[in-house]
């Protein structure tokens, strides 16, 4: 970026001011900004001013950015989250296509507990693709678990479990697999829980069949302690693998402990740790069979849907009389 532009960053720079300086169709050509391909500039697409880094994941980095166009029109909150691939992945020739796949999948979803995306764009000067999405404030579940090492109980557990299960059930109903459910991909925003980062997701049953997909032989970014056994053995993500990850997360939220000592499913299966599983004291007892089925190592024994788990939180436990009548029939 040229020195004059850098000097403007601390001023009242607007989208139109920057766009005007870049519109040179009738004027002599301006010097090309000295941005190396792949290098992240201070302003992307002449509109999004990068303010600070918010977080880095397996493939991408997320920044807080100011939307200069919205600011120009008087929006009092012109801030967005901006996701781009990390430097390592930005150099791949198919990097733009992979990021667009995440955008196309998540853009199909419109649910109050799924992150809301605004757009996909490519900054031509730096050749960096990026996604803009709502800027969320609040702790992620990994921070919450660190503050509650014994887990959550009662209403606190329900207030997280229900919207999380609803978000994932909705995603599956729309043909979208998340692919990387873990505590750091769930945030407790000011206006409610959000599930985010569908970067490892993919469509179900041929939906959006023309979208490029990650090569599982070249790239494995699963968080192993939440990855279903079949993923670790090379299978494609599926609704069943999402259910396994959610089972691990719900068990951890209820007990403060990962169900398999934070080991991978492959290690846990070799040690037969599933045989020692017991219902966490704060988890609804009548929902234990559903949670136990979600944690099955064998995909053929795993729960086929999230409805039984959701039902465990939405429906009260049967009374002693109801249980007795059920046995008497």
State the binding site. Answer: 83
Q: Can you tell me the distance from the alpha carbon of 42 to that of 207, in angstroms, rounded to the nearest whole number?
A: 36
From the candidates 42, 94, 142, 180, which is the catalytic residue? 180
Kindly report the number of other CB atoms within 10 A of residue 154's CB atom. 8
Specify the length of the chain in residues. Answer: 329
121 annotated active-site = no
| CA angle, residues 89, 90, 92, in degrees to nearest 5 | 70
E strand or H helix that includes residue 107: helix 95-107
Residues that constitute the known binding site for ATP: 83
Q: Can you tell me the distance from the alpha carbon of 49 to that of 8, in angstroms, rounded to the nearest whole number?
A: 11
Q: Which two tokens stand for residue 16?
A: 């139109």
Q: Helices then strands (H, E): number in the chain? A: 13, 10
Task: For tokens 């692919």, name the residue.
Answer: 179
Q: Can you tell me the distance from the alpha carbon of 235 to that of 250, in angstroms, rounded to the nearest whole number?
A: 23
- What are 66's strand-pairing partners? 49, 79
Task: For the chain, state the CA radius of gyration.
Answer: 23
Annotated catalytic residues are 180
């Amino acid at each position: 970026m040229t020195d004059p532009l850098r000097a403007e960053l601390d001023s009242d720079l607007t989208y139109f001011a920057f766009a005007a300086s870049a519109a040179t169709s009738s004027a002599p050509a301006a010097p090309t900004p000295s941005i190396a391909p792949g290098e992240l500039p201070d302003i992307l697409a002449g509109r999004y001013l990068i303010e600070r880094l918010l977080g880095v994941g397996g493939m991408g980095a997320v920044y807080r950015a100011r939307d200069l166009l919205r600011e120009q029109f008087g929006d009092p909150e012109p801030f967005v989250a901006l996701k781009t691939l990390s430097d390592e992945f930005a150099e791949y020739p198919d990097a733009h296509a992979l990021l667009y796949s995440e955008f196309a999948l998540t853009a199909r979803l419109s649910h109050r507990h799924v992150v809301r995306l605004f757009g996909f764009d490519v900054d031509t000067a730096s050749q960096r693709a990026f996604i803009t999405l709502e800027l969320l404030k609040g702790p992620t579940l990994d921070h919450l678990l660190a503050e509650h090492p014994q887990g959550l109980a009662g209403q606190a557990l329900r207030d997280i479990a229900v919207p999380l299960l609803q978000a994932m059930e909705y995603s599956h109903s729309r043909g979208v697999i998340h692919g990387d459910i873990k505590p750091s991909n769930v945030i407790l925003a000011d206006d409610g829980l959000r599930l985010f980062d569908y970067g490892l997701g993919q469509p179900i049953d041929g939906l959006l069949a023309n979208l490029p997909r990650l090569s599982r032989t070249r790239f494995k970014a699963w968080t192993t302690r939440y990855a279903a056994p079949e993923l670790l053995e090379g299978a494609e993500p599926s609704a069943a693998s999402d259910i396994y990850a959610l089972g691990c997360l719900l068990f951890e939220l209820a007990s403060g402990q990962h169900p398999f000592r934070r080991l991978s499913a492959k290690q846990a299966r070799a040690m037969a740790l599933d045989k020692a599983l017991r219902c966490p004291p704060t988890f609804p007892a009548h929902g234990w069979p559903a949670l136990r089925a979600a944690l099955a190592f064998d995909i053929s024994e795993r729960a086929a849907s999230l409805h039984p788990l959701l039902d465990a939180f939405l429906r009260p436990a049967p009374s002693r009389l109801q249980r007795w009548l059920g046995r008497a029939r």
